[in-house]
Structure 1
Amino acid sequence: MSPLALPEALEGDGFNRRASIPFGLTPEHVRAAMQDFLDFLTAVDSQLHSRGMISLENTMMQANFSSLVGELIANQIPRYCPTLARNVYHNGHPDLLPAGKYLGDAAQHAGANGIEIKASRYAQGWQGHNAEDAWLMVFVFRSGRNGPKLLPGQGFKFLLVAGALLSKSDWQFSGRSSTSRRTITASVKPAGAARMTANWIYKCRELRERER
């Protein structure tokens, strides 16, 4: 069995205290939610390893693992930010709403009046199923899933958190063939992605050093 590779710790100097985030959310709230995910993954993978089982990342499909990262963070943020609530409407958009604004904290389409959370293994080309006005926050991570790009001993690591207010014009739908069964998705255009990365909330040391 492969050695246990635990998630890498957050870098305290990687948070941007000048980042502009709406609805009372702060980098400190975001950090706490990110730490909760790292604690969750550490606990699960440690238990799996003790039983001779492969890690969670190597068990799940990659897209499903990305969804897990985003869902857990979206659930945890309201624990630390009292001005935000989880949108409990089934498949409601966005994920987080101003606390108490909507009856039962449920809204099918709240548009820009909330924050949508995404997690991705990619530093660009972020996708979603809702090409709507929204304040989008993306959590970019390096997966600990075994593969040719993963060095021995490397585990999960948060690389970047970025966010900005996007409009419908910042999205571009991806085409598909008439025989494809792939779900239609939309991608953030370069201009929208540039606004998000300019307002970065967390950036690992490796990415910061590349920009010097």
Structure 2
Amino acid sequence: MQTPEFKERFFNEDAELPYGVTPGEVRAAIKGFYDFYDDLNRFLMREDHGRIETVLRANNALSDFIGNAATEELANASDALIVNQKPDGFPDLLPTNHDAYAEQDFEVHHGEHGIETKCSKSNGGWQAHNNEEAWFVVFRYERGDPEDDIEDMAPIRFVQVLAANLTEDDWSHSGRSGDSRRTITSSIIKSGMDKLRSNPIYEDPEYITGRASPRERYRENHAEFDPVFADEHPEYVTEQTELGDD
């Protein structure tokens, strides 16, 4: 069975994060998730139960598992954060030095401070139930082909971990009318996607996406922290990158 690998070249130590959280703590969270995922799959396979990707066949169930586990790992890695003790509370991670939250035992239905996490295979259009104003960390992942033999299946791996402070204007809201039972959702729009893609904490350059002009900017940004990408694509190396490498 293949083990997921954290690649240092994909890590951006200068990414911006709030509440004293550091990119290094996100790195620890990714590695912690990889270790947990690897241990879990080895146990499942040893007991002839398959692997987590075959147990949780629906993409939304798998995304929920990955997102919850990654959120827990980030809280474990950072003294600045604690998991919101309210089931389905907002945001997912709360700052530990917030007195009002501490008085509630960090069980917050809807707070104004903290980090909400999202997890998806999609390259954009991530959703929430409302137009939320908060810091978001998005874990984007890839998984192996479910038709492959479980021993040969490529492991789950993160291809982008993005962070941004989103406002209500960074969302579009889709309500419902009449007798519709459609789930009310809000989707991150172009402005919010640009904020997230402009601040990668971890990023495989093969998964950089966006419209032509912004995509070129994201690649220039990536070249500033990924020396292999910079060597392979000198067209994206800017004067700022060259100065940073001296």
Q: Does TM-score exceed 0.5, indicating one fold?
A: yes
Equivalent-residue separation in structure 2 for 1:142 and 1:180 (angstroms): 33
Residue of 29, 44, 48 corresponding to 1:48? 44
Alignment check: 8 A CA contact 2:166 2:192 kept: yes
Report 1:176-187 matches (<5 A): 181-187=181-187
Name the Cα RMSD after superposition. 2.3
Measured against aligned partners, the alpha-carbon deviations of 1:103-127 in whole angstroms (never above 9, x if no partner) come to: 212222212x111011111111111
Q: 1:176/1:62 Cα in 2 relative to 1: closer, same or farther (>3 Å)?
A: farther
Equivalent residue number for residue 200 of structure 1: 200
| Letter of the structure 1 residue corresponding to residue 30 of structure 2 | M
**SS of residue matched to 1:79:** helix
Shift of 1:43: 1.3
Equivalent-residue separation in structure 2 for 1:177 and 1:137 (angstroms): 31
Equivalent residue number for residue 10 of structure 1: 6
Larger Rg: 2
Q: 1:164/1:180 Cα in 2 relative to 1: closer, same or farther (>3 Å)?
A: same
* Corresponding pairs, count: 203
Equivalent-residue separation in structure 2 for 1:117 and 1:184 (angstroms): 19
Report 1:25-64 matches (<5 A): 25-60=21-56, 61-64=58-61
Unaligned 5+ segments in structure 2 are 209-214, 220-232, 234-246
Task: Give TM-score, length-normalised by structure 1.
Answer: 0.86
Shift of 1:169: 1.6
Equivalent-residue separation in structure 1 for 2:84 and 2:160 (angstroms): 24
Identity of aligned residues (%): 33
Shift of 1:27: 1.2
Alignment check: 8 A CA contact 1:15 1:201 kept: yes
Equivalent residue number for residue 106 of structure 1: 107
Shift of 1:82: 0.9
**SS of residue matched to 1:105:** coil
Alignment check: 8 A CA contact 1:8 1:157 kept: yes
| Letter of the structure 1 residue corresponding to residue 136 of structure 2 | L
Shift of 1:23: 0.6
Q: Which has the larger share of helix?
A: 2
Equivalent residue number for residue 143 of structure 2: 143
Measured against aligned partners, the alpha-carbon deviations of 1:44-75 in whole angstroms (never above 9, x if no partner) come to: 21122223332211221210111111111222
Residue of 78, 81, 101 corresponding to 1:81? 78
Report 1:152-191 matches (<5 A): 153-174=153-174, 181-191=181-191
Equivalent-residue separation in structure 1 for 2:175 and 2:84 (angstroms): 29
**SS of residue matched to 1:25:** coil
Shift of 1:207: 3.5
Alignment check: 8 A CA contact 1:159 1:207 kept: yes
Larger RCO of the pair (alpha carbons < 8 Å, separation 6+):
1
